Amino acid sequence: MIRVLLADDEHLIRGAVAALLGLEADLEVAAEVGRGDEVAAAVAAYDPDVAVLDIDMPGADGLTVAEELAAAGARCSICILTSFGRPGYLRRAMAAGVRGFVAKDAPTEELAAAIRKVHAGGRYLDAELAASAMAAGDNPLTAREREILRLIGAGTETARIAELLHLSEGTVRNYLSTAMSKLGESSRFAAVRAAQEMGWI
């Protein structure tokens, strides 16, 4: 019997996924949590074999949680379950030692299959996602460009960014300009969206 911890912020969906896994004879949902920052405590309390983590959660996102669990040397394997198959997410997950990555629009059987594979010590990647991650290549943005894109994404004005980073406004605009050109976009907002899409910021 494989004991599973389920972390997803949408209560009804979490229950539904639990019902789905409950149909499998060899899987058992040992615990459910609705926030990223509750995962560590639940892992300590219930000692699950596999943790299934959503990325988009309040408290702490699934990737950060995965990194923390890996750093803490947790025993359980980790499987990411997400709506957004962003190439950068997959990279970050792999770097954190995650061995399973399933998209929410994958076929129904795929989640159980991924959990079994991961529990057996294997890896399970959505083929589509892996391909697009390869196609996307490495993050072409410099540290400054990422930083400024992040601030723009948070709604910060050019003048405030220049102040925070001790730069002139022209310089801030210039980094945005190079970032936009690298991303093939023609406005700062489109660039932020594109960078987020790729999981680069």
Partner DNA sequence: TCCCGCGCATGACAGGTGTCACACCGGGAT
Partner DNA sequence: ATCCCGGTGTGACACCTGTCATGCGCGGGA
**Residue 188 near DNA by CB under 7 A:** yes
Scanning residues 128 to 167, which ones bind DNA (CB under 7 A)?
142-145, 157-159, 167
Interaction mask 158-197, its own copies, x per CB under 8 A: -------------------------------xx-------
Report the alpha-carbon distance of residue 59 to residue 2 in Å, rounded: 27
| Separation between Cα atoms, residue 139 and residue 166, nearest integer Å | 25
Residue 50 structure tokens: 């596999």
Q: How far apart are CA 58 and CA 65, in angstroms?
A: 11
For residue 11, the 8-state DSSP code is H
Instruction: Report the candidate in 24, 1, 96 with the shortest Cα–Cα distance to residue 53.
Output: 96
Question: Which residues, at least 6 apart from 116, have a Cβ–Cβ distance to it below 8 Å?
Answer: 2, 26
Residue from 132, 139, 174, 196 binding DNA (CB under 7 A): 174
Closest CB to DNA among residues 89, 175: 175
C-beta of 139 vs 150, nearer to its own copies: 150
Q: Binding residues for DNA, per CB under 7 A?
A: 142-145, 157-159, 167-171, 173-174, 176-178, 180-181, 186-188
Q: Binding residues for its own copies, per CB under 8 A?
A: 9-17, 19-20, 22-23, 81, 83, 102-108, 110-111, 155, 189-190
